[in-house]
Amino acid sequence: MKDNVIHLVRKNIANLQPYQSARRIGGNGSIWLNANECPISSLFTTNITSFNRYPESQPKNLISSYANYVHLPSDQVLATRGADEGIELLIKAFCNPGNDAIVCCPPTYDMYALNASILNVQVKEIPIFKNTWKIDLKNIQYNLNKVKLIYICNPNNPTGNIISKENIISLLNMTFGSAIVVIDEAYIEFSYKDSMVNYLKCYPHLIILRTLSKAFALAGLRCGFTLANKEIIDILNRIISPYPISTIVADIAVQSLSKDGIKKMQSRVLTLNLNRDWLIRELEKISVVKKIFNSHANYVLVSFHMHKKIFQKLWEKGIILRNQDHKIHLKKCLRISIGSYSECVRLIQEIKILSDI
């Protein structure tokens, strides 16, 4: 009976490996430094008591609140279930299965390629340059045939680097009229001056993805946004599910986008950036640390001389990091999410112990 069902699965899904999210990987942790979550939570209350009616597809107060935050008209904002839904919607809207392609630049966020694979869209992987982490503009230009979407994570996950505005503008000029450039700014609050939001008015083929999961400390809420010109937002509104944003999600998200909520977010960002800088300074003193990559986000990529031992021993002590050794250019690298100051201190203490063994 089982075989009678399995043979019906689409061929491109049959052997697909699912995204290895932090929760899927697991671990018995007391200090979670593997999902780029914010360790500083916010408390919210709600006056909503009835849930028998469906919510608005795009709650007006949520859209206007985020539009005010990013200084855009409301018709250039789409609310989604995290930025992940935005990644998927764009492929659904613009890519013909079995014919079109996307470009992504590994090492980067895996969900660009995974969503394309699920939807039977070709993935052209054009790695960023090793160590400098710059995008390979020449190679992208050479591979633009059938490409509809180019995904750039900025700051990039897991490397933490910024793709310069000059590089992105060159990419936008190169692709004008032929492909859409999608800038994933999930971590942009940690380096806000590098946002491309102000360029939406100049480039109709620019799209920006945002989320409340990182700096706003709302990973459990699953609320993100797609920012684009009105024509693109109208297209995405045709295919998004009828009720993507629940009533309670919209209520809490609006609270987080109030003047007080934004001030609290900015305070968290300052604290985490200070924690990151402290952590980097302390890591530089430890002998098993081979290289620390510069970061503009709430995580830092570190190359260790004994990366497997470090990862496993910390795992056993309940300190969960993210192993990046399997990714291109990232041999012996672990990604460390920036925790609270006490979590960073504990991490350094344990790594020092391991370096002395």
Residue 260 pLDDT exceeds 80: yes
Rg (CA), the chain: 21
Identity of the residue numbered 149:
L
CB 122 within 8 A of CB 133: no
- Looking at residue 26, its pLDDT comes to 67
Q: Indicate the pLDDT class of residue 29, thresholds 50, 70 and 90.
A: confident
**Mean pLDDT throughout 17-24?**
74
208 conformational bin, left if phi > 0, alpha if psi -120 to 50, beta if neither: beta
3-state secondary structure of 303: strand
Q: For residues 4 and 139, which has the higher predicted lDDT (pLDDT)?
A: 139
Q: Is the peptide bond before 158 cis (omega within 30 degrees of 0)?
A: yes
Give dist(CA 250, CA 321) in Å, integer. Answer: 31
**Mean pLDDT throughout 336-346?**
98
Q: Write a three-state SS string for 222-244.
A: CCEEEECCHHHHHHHHHHCCCCC
- Looking at residue 28, its pLDDT comes to 75
3-state secondary structure of 278: helix
CB 276 within 8 A of CB 347: no
CB 183 within 8 A of CB 196: yes
Alpha helices in the chain (DSSP H): 2-6, 11-14, 22-25, 60-70, 82-94, 111-118, 137-142, 165-175, 230-239, 247-256, 259-283, 307-316, 341-356
- Looking at residue 188, its pLDDT comes to 98
pLDDT digits (tens, 9 = 90+) for 74-102: 999 999 999 999 999 999 999 999 999 99
3-state helix, strand, coil in the chain (%, to 5): 40, 15, 45
**Mean pLDDT throughout 249-276?**
98
Instruction: Determine how many CB atoms are found less than 10 A away from the CB of residue 23.
Output: 10
Residue 42 pLDDT exceeds 90: no
Say how far residue 321 (Cα) sits from the centre of its chain.
17
Mean pLDDT for the chain?
95
Q: Is the peptide bond before 55 cis (omega within 30 degrees of 0)?
A: no
Question: What are the CA-CA distances from residue 207 to residues 87, 90, 200 (Å)?
Answer: 10, 9, 7
Q: Which structural domains are found in the chain, ordered by start?
A: 2-39+261-356 (3.90.1150.10), 60-258 (3.40.640.10)
Give dist(CA 179, CA 150) in Å, integer. Answer: 7
Residue 27 pLDDT exceeds 80: no
- Looking at residue 12, its pLDDT comes to 86
Residue 158 pLDDT exceeds 90: yes
pTM, full prediction: 0.96
Question: What are the CA-CA distances from residue 129 to residues 122, 159, 334 (Å)?
Answer: 22, 12, 19
Give dist(CA 95, CA 112) in Å, integer. Answer: 13
Give dist(CA 208, CA 210) in Å, integer. Answer: 7
Strand arrangement of the beta sheet that strand 333-337 belongs to: 289-292, 299-304, 333-337, 322-323
Written as six digits, the tokens of 6 are 């399995």
3-state secondary structure of 271: helix
Written as six digits, the tokens of 296 are 């503009």
DSSP 47-72: ------SPPPSS-HHHHHHHHHHHT-
- Looking at residue 19, its pLDDT comes to 76
Residue 24 pLDDT exceeds 80: no
Written as six digits, the tokens of 210 are 């945002």
Residue 187 pLDDT exceeds 60: yes
